[in-house]
């Protein structure tokens, strides 16, 4: 069964909203943003594990995600964090932050230059003059889509409501714009559905150009979440920086 938007919003197939275990990206972003007495905006906060961990260290956190099921789970985790169900491309808060982070590879879910510029404009609009940002994505030169789960060897993951889910992908691309089209298949408790998605892979120089277009600048680039050097074989592109004052 092909999943449609109304079914997703009505929670008919809740097992398509996936949770994630704490990973190397969380370690890096926690260390980056953990400054007691400051405030942090986390874009794509998911079910809120990282936001809540920062809160417990004395950080004032706003956690933002456009997935209503994930925000619902975040609200169950704690009411001490300001959780917002909103789109990072358009949200505007009457607030500026010491740090803004984007979780995991969420930046890839914005498939056009316009989408990615809008997200970066949100960062620029909410960052204090001496504030900092960090986010990452998979490195297209490492061709990560070739390693995603296949039907004969599906990944086992967990939904936001704790269900065990088998997941595999059919992929096509990338095209000249770095877009990889994929049909993601989900199976859980005898139920099956699929959902079409697009992920965008851009190179380091293109990211730099996008940042400059919105008044941001990168001050550091790494090849993975342990802050190793960025090279063609690196699995990730991690960038951090601030306003181009």
pLDDT of residue 10 exceeding 70, the answer is no
* b/e burial code for range 27-38 (CB count within 10 A of at least 16 → b): ebbbebbbeeeb
44: pLDDT strictly greater than 50: yes
Residue 14 pLDDT grade (very low, low, confident, very high; cuts 50, 70, 90): low
Cβ neighbours of residue 219 closer than 8 Å, sequence gap 6 or more = 240, 241, 242
What does the domain layout of the chain look like in residue ranges? Answer: 16-140+203-243, 142-200
pLDDT single digits (tens) 113-165: 999 999 999 999 999 999 999 999 999 999 998 887 777 778 888 888 788 88
- CATH hierarchy code of domain 16-140+203-243: 3.40.50.150
Question: How does the average pLDDT of the chain come out, rounded?
Answer: 90
Q: What is the pLDDT of residues 73-126, one digit of tens each?
A: 999 999 999 999 999 999 999 999 999 999 989 999 999 999 999 999 999 999
Q: What's the pTM value of the predicted model, to 2 decimals? A: 0.90
Residue 235: Cβ-neighbour burial (10 angstroms; 0-12, 13-18, 19+): middle
pLDDT the model gives residue 164: 86
């Amino acid at each position: 069964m092909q999943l449609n938007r109304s079914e997703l919003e009505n929670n008919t197939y809740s097992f398509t909203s996936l949770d994630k275990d704490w990973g190397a990206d969380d370690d890096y972003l926690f260390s980056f943003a953990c400054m007691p007495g400051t405030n942090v905006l986390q874009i794509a906060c998911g079910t809120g594990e990282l936001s809540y961990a920062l809160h417990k260290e004395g950080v004032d956190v706003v956690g933002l995600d456009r997935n209503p099921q994930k925000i619902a789970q975040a609200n169950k985790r704690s009411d001490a964090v300001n959780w917002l169900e909103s789109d990072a491309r358009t949200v505007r808060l009457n607030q500026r932050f010491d740090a803004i982070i984007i979780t995991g590879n969420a930046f890839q879910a914005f498939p056009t230059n316009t989408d990615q510029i809008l997200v970066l404009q949100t960062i620029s609009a909410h960052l204090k003059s001496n504030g900092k940002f960090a986010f990452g994505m998979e490195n297209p030169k490492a061709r990560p889509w070739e390693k995603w789960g296949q039907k004969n060897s599906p990944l086992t993951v967990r939904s936001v409501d704790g269900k065990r889910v088998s997941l595999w992908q059919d992929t096509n691309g990338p095209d000249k714009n770095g877009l990889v089209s994929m049909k993601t298949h989900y199976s859980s408790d005898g139920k099956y559905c699929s959902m079409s998605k697009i992920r965008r892979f851009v190179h380091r120089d293109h990211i730099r150009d996008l940042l400059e277009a919105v008044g941001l600048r990168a001050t550091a680039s790494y090849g993975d979440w342990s802050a190793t050097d960025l090279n063609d074989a690196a699995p990730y592109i991690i960038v951090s920086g601030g306003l181009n004052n």
